[in-house]
Amino acid sequence: MRRATNLKEAYNNFYVEPLKSDQEFAEFYVERPGVSPMIDLKDRIEIADREEKYLFLGFRGSGKSTELYRLEAALDENRFIVVNYSIRDDLNLSDFD
């Protein structure tokens, strides 16, 4: 998919899916102003001497998964094994009250 040059192309390119491939990152990723939360999270993960848990939340389409894919790419492959998991695979999200 190429970068849109007009409103019609932008509308037809839009879908709420994380950027996963290097090509998608190169074409569509826009760095957010300020310090990236992924830099802080990466540093915390790399220096921690104990297991920690993190809650990373936001509205649908706000870039959570995209940022987590960036984090996965930034972590040292020799020290960490990243397991991608979606709760949607096991639970019916409409069952929650």
Neighbours of 67 (CB within 10 A): 20
Distances (CA, A) of 77 to 19, 31, 82: 20, 23, 9
Residue 25 falls inside a structural domain: yes
**Which domain does 67 fall in, by range?**
7-95
Please check whether residue 55 lies inside any domain of the structure.
yes
Band of pLDDT at residue 79, cut at 50, 70 and 90: confident
Does residue 34 belong to any structural domain of this protein? yes
Residues sharing a CB contact under 8 Å with residue 84, sequence separation 6 or more, in sequence order = 72
Predicted confidence band at 3 (pLDDT cuts at 50, 70, 90)? confident
At residue 47, the pLDDT reads 92
CA–CA distance from 66 to each of 24, 58, 62 (Å)? 10, 12, 9
Q: Average per-residue pLDDT in the chain?
A: 81
CA–chain centroid gap for 39, Å, is 13
Q: What is the pTM of this model?
A: 0.65
Q: Which of 79, 86, 78, 69 is nearest to 45 (CA)?
A: 79
- Please indicate whether residue 68 or residue 90 has the higher confidence score (pLDDT): 68
pLDDT at 16 > cutoff 70 = no
pLDDT reported for residue 15:
67
Residue 1 lies in a domain: no
* CA pair distance 26, 49, nearest whole angstrom: 34
Say how many domains are in the chain. Answer: 1
Query: Is 26 part of any domain?
Result: yes
Answer whether residue 2 is part of any domain.
no
Average pLDDT over residues 59-83: 85
CB atoms under 10 Å from CB of 18, counted, come to: 14
